Amino acid sequence: MFEAGGFAGNVVVKREKIVMNYTKEQFSFLRRYRTLPRYLLTIRYNARFGTNKTIIGIISVCKRKGWPTGRDGRFEKGSLPWNTGTKGVCKRNSGCFRKGDRPKNWKPVGSERINTGDGCILIKVAEPNKWRYKHVVVWEAIHGKAMKGQVVRFKDSDPLNCDPDNLEAVSRQVHLYLNRNDYTGTPERYKPTMLVIAKIEVKIFDIVGAEDFQPLRKVGKVGVRTGHAHACCK
């Protein structure tokens, strides 16, 4: 039976001992020049001792002996880039942008596009690529910037109708109420009434609190329905 080195079933397997055939002089050489790149160390070692060692072999010996190169792959402080003093080596080519160049998909300020996420209109308001929701820009042009906590909504739920008369700024609480009660799916003739009820109920809730609040009406069989809301109005 072999001596213990590892077990395979009931058979004891003896591990083979790796023998390094190096002289003290050779070890001394490797240790002295251990900071060289391993390919260069291998070349010098073979030239010095007339051997035919491979890079893998030299790497293995240095690793087992604990002789690292001392490099971690990062640039040292004060190191110069490879192209220092070589002005003009990297020439401009046909794919390089020049100052003042514009990409093929460039749009001028005032251009509009549809946001595929929510169906609302986006308008370009500044260079190089600043876009905002058109209905918000239209509202602010007439009424000034909406107060903190307000949301600009479409009265008729049409995200493409940015007519000033179709826009209204409401609190986020009213906005949430309308979304939960399917304002978008409500018939047009009832929407103004629903908006008034939303504002009244939110005001009552703010005054009496959650425990004493009683809604003016219920929608559906379970009290509340979740409706569609445009992402731009969230």
The predicted structure's pLDDT at residue 215: 60
Let me know: does 54 contact 95? Beta carbons within 8 Å: no
The residue out of 13, 34, 69 marking a domain boundary is: 69
Render the burial of 179-207: b for 16+ CB within 10 Å, e for the rest. Answer: bbbbbbebeeeebeebbebbbebbeebee
Domain that holds residue 39: 24-69
Q: How does the average pLDDT of the chain come out, rounded?
A: 77
Whether pLDDT at 104 is above 50 = yes
**Is the residue at 81 inside a domain?**
no
Number of domains in the chain: 2
The predicted structure's pLDDT at residue 74: 74
The residue out of 15, 39, 69 marking a domain boundary is: 69
Q: Which pair of tokens denotes residue 211?
A: 């425990």
Please, which residues have CB within 8 angstroms of residue 111's CB and are 6 or more apart in sequence? 123, 124
81 versus 230: which is more confidently predicted? 81
The residue out of 44, 69, 94 marking a domain boundary is: 69
Whether pLDDT at 18 is above 90 = no
pLDDT tier for residue 85 given thresholds of 50, 70 and 90 = confident
Range in 52-56, 79-83, 174-178 the model is least confident about: 79-83
